[in-house]
Amino acid sequence: MVGLGRNIMRLHNKRTLIIGGTSGIGLATARRFAAEGACVVVAGLDRGDVGDLHFLTCDARDANQMDALLAQTIQHLGGLDILFHVAGISGRKHGDGPLHECTDSGWDATLDANLKSVFLTNGAAIRQFLAQGTGGVILNMASVLAISPVPTFFDTAAYTASKGGVIALSRYAAARYAKDKIRVNVLAPGLIDTPMSARAVNDPTIRAYLDAKQPLGPGPGTPDDCANAAVFLCGDEARFITGVVLPVDGGWCVSEG
Is 254 part of any domain?
no
Confidence band for 3, pLDDT divided at 50, 70 and 90: very low
pLDDT of residue 4: 46
Is 251 part of any domain?
no
State pTM to two decimals. 0.95
Is 256 part of any domain?
no
Q: How many domains does the chain have?
A: 1
pLDDT of residue 7: 53
Arithmetic mean of pLDDT over the chain: 95
What are the φ and ψ backbone dihedral angles of 184, each rounded to 5 degrees? -135, 120
Is 252 part of any domain?
no
Cβ-contact 104, 88 below 8 angstroms: no
Cβ-contact 23, 46 below 8 angstroms: no
Instruction: Taking residues 15-27, report their average pLDDT.
Output: 96
pLDDT of residue 48: 84
The reply to whether 159 belongs to the active site is yes
CATH number at residue 86: 3.40.50.720
pLDDT digits 0-9 by tens, 166-176:
999 999 999 99
> Residue 256: is its pLDDT beyond 90?
no
Percent of the chain with pLDDT over 90: 94
Instruction: Taking residues 77-85, report their average pLDDT.
Output: 98
Rounded Cα distance between 147 and 144, Å, is 6
pLDDT digits 0-9 by tens, 47-69:
988 999 999 999 999 999 999 99
Cβ-contact 189, 144 below 8 angstroms: yes
Instruction: Taking residues 85-109, report their average pLDDT.
Output: 97
Instruction: Taking residues 112-130, report their average pLDDT.
Output: 98
pLDDT of residue 2: 41
CB atoms under 10 Å from CB of 237, counted, come to 11
Any idea which of 85-89, 92-96, 137-141, 196-200 has the lowest mean pLDDT?
A: 196-200
Is 257 part of any domain?
no
Which DSSP helix (H) or strand (E) runs through 180? none
Which of these is catalytic: 159, 172, 177, 209? 159
Is 106 part of any domain?
yes
Is 181 part of any domain?
yes
Sheet holding 182-189, edge to edge: 54-57, 39-44, 15-19, 82-85, 136-141, 182-189, 245-248
Q: How many degrees, rounded to 5, is the angle at CA 163 between CA 39 and CA 85?
A: 10
pLDDT digits 0-9 by tens, 185-195:
999 999 999 99
Amino acid identity of 108? D
Rounded Cα distance between 59 and 67, Å, is 11
Give, as one character, the DSSP assignment of residue 162.
H
Percent of the chain with pLDDT over 70: 97
Full domain range(s) for residue 119: 2-246
Is 213 part of any domain?
yes
Cβ-contact 146, 135 below 8 angstroms: no
pLDDT digits 0-9 by tens, 206-255:
999 999 999 999 999 999 999 999 999 999 999 999 999 999 999 999 99
Sequence-ordered strand ranges (E) for the chain: 15-19, 39-44, 54-57, 82-85, 136-141, 182-189, 245-248
